[in-house]
Amino acid sequence: MREGDDIVVIDCGLSFPTEEMLGIDIVVPDFTYLVQNKEKVRGVFLTHAHEDHVGGLPYLLREIDVPIYCTEFTQALIRQRLEEKLPHKQLDFRIFKPGDIIEAGKLSVEPVRVTHSIPENCSMAIRTTHGIVLFTGDFKFDFTPVDGKLANITRFGELGREGVLILLSDSTNVERPGWGPSERAVSEGLRKVFGEAEGRVLLTTFASNIHRMQQVYEIAAEMGRKVAVVGRRMEQNLDTCERLGYVRIPKGTRIRLDEARQYPDNKLAILTTGSQGEPMSALVQMSKGEYGRLQIKAGDTLIYSARPIPGNEAAIWRTINRLFDQGCRVVYESPTPIHVSGHAYQEELKMMINLTRPYYLAPVHGEPRHQHLYQEIARNMGYPDHRVFTMKDGIPLMMDDTSAHQGEAVPAGRVLVDSSGTPGVTDDVLRDRNNIAKDGIVVVTVPIDMTKGVLASDPAFQARGFHGPEGILDAAYDVVYDGLTSLSRDELRDTNRVKHDVSDTVRKLVQKRTNLRPLVLPIIVEV
């Protein structure tokens, strides 16, 4: 959000890679525009502590120094992660409470409490010269939240009367009609599974789903079970939340994992990470029998209490199938909910529009299909086309007293980060990884006597992960050898020319005869 020389950033998240992004761990935004205008950035304002809203912060803070505005709870959850990734960075946290007014140059920002699947979630009302820009963040209207803290519906109505210029609304669940069930509805579903389980009960959810973990402790205490936690991030979050009073663990219920062997299986519950099939998570390693601290047993029951992030479905189903093979009962669907979404359904989205009565509407935090359906709902509520916008990455929405239109593109896009932690994996690197994964690699070593300008010995071929018909590499050798021996002395001394010729020759021959496209890697050894 920018007015004049003042910029405020609302959230700084990450997304997860698709299956085509081999070796990529996370995807973060391209921060070029913010870096180019870093002297104008007045702060990053965080709506809540979920990774898709805060996970990009370490990469932004490497580039610019900027204050981070958030609730005490959000700060407690993210500080350690930031300090791990930015060990020498001075972090400038500024704590707010819902209802505070934070000045940011000509702009001001007011956080407004709203319910979600994590404590201390806020929408952001940004006051500008032309009116209020209201960013809902992730929200739902839960009238029986686990922590008892309701959305400030009254304040949304007051903002509507003051004048909301544009509502930037969550649209993730716009395909779901009606009202979303309360988080508290999950308790009955969990209670039913706990009551039916003959052995240990394992539950996997996001490490930040504090309300869900609170419910597990309460139900376990009711049924005489002890609860152990598996997964470093989940343990850290629980420790933090218990210290700050956001989780109330019944006395004597929480145990360490190494104490679990002291109790019979029907007196144990395990909270574990791995709900998205993450390769290194505790649950995935358990499903493969590779987690030394805990093994799956026949008679175990696993509750899958999460919603798959798009792109993770295949990894999740593989994990679930392996658990079934080990004799574990997996509950991933239930007539009585074992998971509810933290995002608003259709009627809740309409309620937010009616409360705030914005002049313009723009659905965000959703995919194109969600934006399209949200716009249909807005039109049915009387909004004409010229007051409903489709936001696209890098295309700013320009507003003044009398009109709004989409402006010229600014730098935007995705930046890929692999396990090295270094952002900026290129499309060329991804293409090479996909070629290797699909068709393998062929390495051609060419020894050249640079003094004489001749081959020092025959080229050598090595292949890994390549499966072609018998004799294909021999045929490639013959063509490469003939091509090299036809070059002049000066041409052989041109290593770039030789690399290109070898790579092009082998690639074309293999593709023509096999339809395979291995990565061809020529290596010149200068003798």
Q: Select which of 142, 170, 300, 439 is catalytic.
A: 170
Give the tokens for residue 344.
């608003």
- Residue type at 212? R
Sole residue written with tokens 């809203």? 53
Instruction: Extract the runs of DSSP E, i.e. beta strands, from 96-251.
Output: 102-104, 107-113, 122-128, 131-135, 164-170, 201-204, 226-230
Per the annotation, binding residues for Ca(2+) are 23, 25, 418
AA letter at 497:
R
List binding-site positions.
23, 25, 48, 50, 52-53, 116, 138, 207-209, 339-343, 365, 418
Is residue 11 part of the annotated active site? The answer reads no
Between strands 164-170 and 122-128, the pairing is: unpaired
Active-site position among 11, 142, 343, 370: 343
Per the annotation, the verdict on 170 as an active-site residue is yes
Q: Which alpha helices (DSSP H) does 226-383 contain, by range?
A: 232-244, 282-287, 313-325, 346-356, 368-380
Nearest residue to 333 (alpha-carbon basis) of 312, 314, 307: 307
Q: Which residue is listed with tokens 């509520």?
A: 381
Calpha distance 295→323 (Å, rounded): 11
Region of residue 5 (left: phi > 0; alpha: psi -120 to 50; beta: else): alpha
Structure tokens of 424?
């900026």
Using alpha carbons, list the distances in angstroms from residue 304 to 49, 117, 506: 22, 16, 49
Coil, strand or helix at 404: strand
Residue partners of 380: CB distance under 8 A and separation at least 6: none
Name the pairing type of β-strands 301-304 and 329-331: parallel
Side-chain-side CA neighbours of residue 161 (13 Å): 5
Enumerate the known binding-site residues for substrate: 207-209, 339-343
**CB of 448 within 8 A of CB of 493?**
yes
Cβ neighbours of residue 386 under 8 Å, at least 6 residues apart? none
Q: How far is CA 14 from the centre of its chain?
A: 5
Instruction: Give the residue ranges of the annotated binding site for Zn(2+).
Output: 48, 50, 52-53, 116, 138, 365
How far apart, in Å, do the first and last CA atoms of the chain sit?
60
33 to 16, 52, 63, 108, 350: CA distances (angstroms): 22, 20, 11, 21, 33
Amino acid symbol at 132: I
Write out the catalytic residue numbers.
170, 343
